[in-house]
Structure 1
Amino acid sequence: MHPVMMGVVVVDRLTDWPIKVPGVEVVTGWTYLNDEAFVKPRRARVYNLCRSFSYQSIGYYVSLLASARGHAALPDVTTIQDLKLADSPRIINDEVDDLINQSLARLGSEHYSLNIYFSRCMAKRHERLARALFNLFPAPLLQVDFLWRDNRWRVDGVAALALGEVPEGHHEFLLEAASDYFLRKRAPRIKRESARYDIAILVNPNEAEPPSNAQALKRFEKAAVDLGFDVEFLDKGDYGHVAEFDALFIRETTAVNHHTYRFARRAAREGLVVLDDPLSILRAANKVFLAQVMTRQRIPQPETLIVHRGNVSQIARDLGFPCVLKQPDSQFSKGVIKVESEAELKRQTRAMLERSDLIIAQRFTPTEYDWRIGVLDGVAIYACRYFMAKDHWQIIRRDAAGEKDEGAHETLAVEDVPANVLSIAIQAAKTVGQGLYGVDLKQFGNAVTVIEVNDNPNIDFGIEDLVLKDALYQRVMGYFIKRLEARTRSG
């Protein structure tokens, strides 16, 4: 049986940590490094509160060896090193940068320092900012310095704060924040002793068009529990908790310049089994990559041209009208435009090339429906036909107000799908990776072409699961078990 994960607070002196938290053991750095109890295989979340993280110090080695022992450390050694780099502030994304300037707007000085303790800070007006920065730099104790320059607040430095550097007046708040952090994730439920692994499912409760509806998420949860997982749903504010799990399943629409990619990248770095993995997100998110790799692998696709400012004139000559223009990162029929004339072509390509130096143009051929083949680990697991919306050339029609009209759908048993459709779908999925993909194809008699490969494909209750029902959710969760058990055997 996979042992229950325990919490370990590591300090320089036991007196540094005066409170007791249920399920959390307090030990010194020397004890953690040398006691056989912590060397033998056991699952642990290690909260490293040593007074120094300098290179080859006790604090440094606690995080380094936690990784070697398969323990989830906060901070991990990569975070410690990242925080020491002079350019750490450059990874601040636009969303957090805007939050910084909103939060600090009323300050009159040109310098400001914010201490963050387990994602919280003492100034209530900066709580959202503290949590966002903790998610970017997941360390128990952080100090972030800000500088007013060029009429904006900018991050001037980020550092892991050692326990000994916490001002005495902050100690009571620190202990309260730590206690809340330790207990928060355990409060909703008591962890089942029978659980072999922990899996996190990343969702966005406010997403208008999520890849799985609420009923599907419940079935994923049940399938995971039946297979021996303890399940927890995360949102984008839980980035700092990723390392506490064995696996991450992303059920929020993914994008590269987005927190979903950062979650995937951190999960992969921490050794979790993750769907969608970051490389799949990078590849599937860009239609230029897909067009190039399909050509290289000789996988049939509509006649395609990779467009840049120097070859726009070739589109009409090579593809004719109507043709389809695609923004490289377009999703769910957004950023995909059918153009009917030379004037419209010039206008639309000019607008698209303002956002990306390369776009895609394809020959347009109307069909009654698109195939969607769900592929997991190189095997087709579901098949659907999505019909075009009424009086429209796509399966989703959107009006000026953003309202949408969808065509009908039909779910088939995989064995009832034409062999060439399945074969080409599986080949196309393999060009992206070995994860979970939705391959969209068009069929004209015996001819089949790949439209795109989506990572993070829809699996909704009442649509994609109509044939396999609960078995579909079990197949997906079985992928995680298979990968985790293979890792355990090889280790």
Structure 2
Amino acid sequence: MSGIVIVDQLSDWPVEIPGVDVVTAWDYLTQDEFTRSRRTRIYNLCRSFSYQSTGYYVSLLAGARDHRPLPDITTIQDLKLAESPRVVADEVDELIEKSLSRIGGERYVLNVYFGRSLAKRHERLAAALFNLFPAPLLQAKFSWRGDEWRVDALGPIALGEIPETHHEFMLESALDYFLRKRSPRRTTRDSYRYDMAFLVNEDEKEPPSNPRAIKLFEKAAEDLGFDVEILDKGDYGHVAEFDALFIRETTAVNHHTYRFSRRAAREGLVVVDDPLSILRCSNKVFLAQLMDRHRIPTPKTVLIHPRNLKQAAAELGFPCVLKQPDSAFSKGVIKVDDAAEFRRKAADMLERSDLIVAQAFEPTEYDWRIGVLDGEPLYACRYYMAPKHWQIVKRDSKGSKSEGEHETLDIADVPKPVLNVAVQAARAIGSGLYGVDLKQFGKRVKVIEVNDNPNLDFGVEDLVLKEALYRKVMEFFLRRLESRVREGAR
């Protein structure tokens, strides 16, 4: 994907960057060559983004041309909203206080150049502001209100407003941004059809894909013509540079993974996990209602609130299982054995959520996990219960865990009822990648939950398909991208 810096006058950008052209805003808006070009990154450095100004139209029309503008038109509008300072305060309040704690005066102006600050002590804050509002040049104004720092204003800063003493640092930041993480093979970018980002957290203790799996995903993507780059949570501002995003970090709604997914979807990327799937799968209250509406079998389920505790306990009997709505990986899921424990544990969970889920306890030797991609079965595993435990993972009070055995099967060897129910449950969520957990009782099959971010680990889920598993997932991205290209050509 090529890159273009857009300025009001060519003299506004005195530095040459390999692979990045400099074009005036007027030329970009009026010349046919820019109307016809595709898959182009646009770095909008115009002097004004006011409504219907030249700078405004650069980002607006870049979106219409299937280019990737920074900032995009949504960011420009968000920066104009009166609540943007409040959004900043809510997201990075602690970081603001820490970064500005040594400031002696009552006002402070922070300029952010491509996510960086000239003052090293403000670099984390600068990166956070850029991640919230991805614009090349930002200015934040803070004031001390007696007991804390407040954000008074946040908006783009024009090239002409940058202090002379900052010019060298600003250009250095731009160069670093444009050339970031570029390896020597980037000189052959024309051989790649699409750009793909993997969102990975190398410090995550229980990631959805282990390092060997990530390498195999990367190889499969490159074999299909993708140029792959690994991102972490600090790379939010770079999302728009890609055609596709594959999230291989445990997802949650109040989390940067959801913000990455939401922005990727807004920018038109093919994204797994998509934001709607994260929202749906991350809440077991929603899943319970969804399965009920689609008449998909589950263990007997009751939504618990403070007024129905006694009734629910009588209806389910004991033991039964309580689930925090946003629980994952066996965390926040507990078995209770009597009414007193039920009331106590439910009350604790209701402190964090107005509704929780309770289900009948139906023990089995193992749980099925059926991976479903684009509405079709992808892989099948049996996860056996941990020794002397009722779940596949057993955790102690110190945080250590033990797991049961696993068995990976060919899809052809999975009982039809298991596959049918799994596919129904996944299709009720969407058309992405899901892991459906089920219990089987003879010919009866019940859904336990649907995960938007299922494990795809080397040495477990890939034991039958091997490298074909990784290729099938990458082929999903390719099909979606090529379908969009065909639709755009009509």
Using structure 1 for the length normalisation, give the TM-score. Answer: 0.97
1:67 is aligned to 63
Give CA-to-partner distance per residue, 1:113-153, whole Å, 9 cap, x none. 21000011111101111111101110000011223336232
Does 2:293 match 1:296? yes
Amino acid at match of 2:459: G
Equivalent position to 2:376, from 358, 376, 379? 379
1:92 is aligned to 88
Cα distance between partner residues in 2 of 1:165 and 1:371: 61
- Give the alignment of 1:96-175 within 5 angstroms: 96-149=92-145, 151-175=147-171
Greater shift, 144-153 or 367-376, is seen at 144-153
Secondary structure of 1:485's aligned partner: helix
Greater shift, 70-79 or 149-158, is seen at 149-158
1:57 is aligned to 53
Greater shift, 449-458 or 166-175, is seen at 166-175
Kindly tell me the number of residue pairs found equivalent between the two proteins: 487
Give CA-to-partner distance per residue, 1:169-220, whole Å, 9 cap, x none. 2112111111111111324642442110000000000000000000000000
Cα distance between partner residues in 2 of 1:472 and 1:462: 12
- Give the alignment of 1:426-445 within 5 angstroms: 426-445=423-442
Secondary structure of 2:478's aligned partner: helix
1:211 is aligned to 208
Does 2:3 match 1:7? yes
Secondary structure of 2:66's aligned partner: coil
Residue 83 of structure 1: how far off its partner (Å): 0.3
Give CA-to-partner distance per residue, 1:205-251, whole Å, 9 cap, x none. 00000000000000000000011100000000000110000000000
After superposition, the Cα gap between the structure-2 partners of 1:95 and 1:54, relative to the gap in structure 1 and judged at 3 Å, is closer
Amino acid at match of 2:353: S
2:422 is aligned to 425
After superposition, the Cα gap between the structure-2 partners of 1:416 and 1:410, relative to the gap in structure 1 and judged at 3 Å, is same
2:218 is aligned to 221
Cα distance between partner residues in 2 of 1:148 and 1:312: 48
Residue 110 of structure 1: how far off its partner (Å): 2.7
Does 2:326 match 1:324? no
Secondary structure of 1:313's aligned partner: helix
After superposition, the Cα gap between the structure-2 partners of 1:377 and 1:129, relative to the gap in structure 1 and judged at 3 Å, is same
Equivalent position to 1:395, from 392, 396, 399? 392
After superposition, the Cα gap between the structure-2 partners of 1:400 and 1:314, relative to the gap in structure 1 and judged at 3 Å, is same
Cα distance between partner residues in 1 of 2:242 and 2:415: 40
After superposition, the Cα gap between the structure-2 partners of 1:401 and 1:189, relative to the gap in structure 1 and judged at 3 Å, is farther
Does 2:358 match 1:365? no
2:270 is aligned to 273
1:178 is aligned to 174
Equivalent position to 2:458, from 447, 461, 470? 461
Amino acid at match of 1:409: H
Cα distance between partner residues in 2 of 1:209 and 1:31: 50
1:22 is aligned to 18
Residue 95 of structure 1: how far off its partner (Å): 5.8
Cα distance between partner residues in 2 of 1:416 and 1:154: 61
Greater shift, 65-74 or 339-348, is seen at 339-348
Secondary structure of 2:250's aligned partner: coil
After superposition, the Cα gap between the structure-2 partners of 1:188 and 1:124, relative to the gap in structure 1 and judged at 3 Å, is farther
- The answer on whether the counterparts of 2:220 and 2:474 sit within 8 Å (CA) in structure 1 is yes
What runs of 5+ residues in structure 2 fail to find an aligned partner?
A: none
Cα distance between partner residues in 1 of 2:361 and 2:340: 17
- The answer on whether the counterparts of 2:89 and 2:150 sit within 8 Å (CA) in structure 1 is no
Amino acid at match of 1:146: F
- The answer on whether the counterparts of 2:89 and 2:151 sit within 8 Å (CA) in structure 1 is no
Using structure 2 for the length normalisation, give the TM-score. Answer: 0.98
Cα distance between partner residues in 1 of 2:71 and 2:435: 36
- Give the alignment of 1:69-84 within 5 angstroms: 69-84=65-80
Does 2:236 match 1:244? no
Cα distance between partner residues in 1 of 2:339 and 2:2: 65
The CA RMSD over aligned residues, in Å, is 1.2
- The answer on whether the counterparts of 2:434 and 2:453 sit within 8 Å (CA) in structure 1 is yes
Cα distance between partner residues in 2 of 1:154 and 1:213: 41
Greater shift, 245-254 or 107-116, is seen at 107-116
Cα distance between partner residues in 2 of 1:319 and 1:429: 26
Equivalent position to 1:306, from 299, 303, 306? 303
2:352 is aligned to 355
Equivalent position to 1:448, from 445, 448, 471? 445
Cα distance between partner residues in 2 of 1:197 and 1:96: 34
Cα distance between partner residues in 2 of 1:301 and 1:332: 19
- The answer on whether the counterparts of 2:139 and 2:155 sit within 8 Å (CA) in structure 1 is yes
Cα distance between partner residues in 1 of 2:8 and 2:49: 12
Residue 100 of structure 1: how far off its partner (Å): 1.5
What runs of 5+ residues in structure 1 fail to find an aligned partner?
A: none
Cα distance between partner residues in 2 of 1:479 and 1:93: 39
Greater shift, 158-167 or 145-154, is seen at 145-154
Residue 94 of structure 1: how far off its partner (Å): 5.6
Secondary structure of 1:401's aligned partner: coil
Cα distance between partner residues in 2 of 1:95 and 1:31: 38
Residue 350 of structure 1: how far off its partner (Å): 1.0
Cα distance between partner residues in 2 of 1:101 and 1:448: 53
Cα distance between partner residues in 2 of 1:98 and 1:465: 42
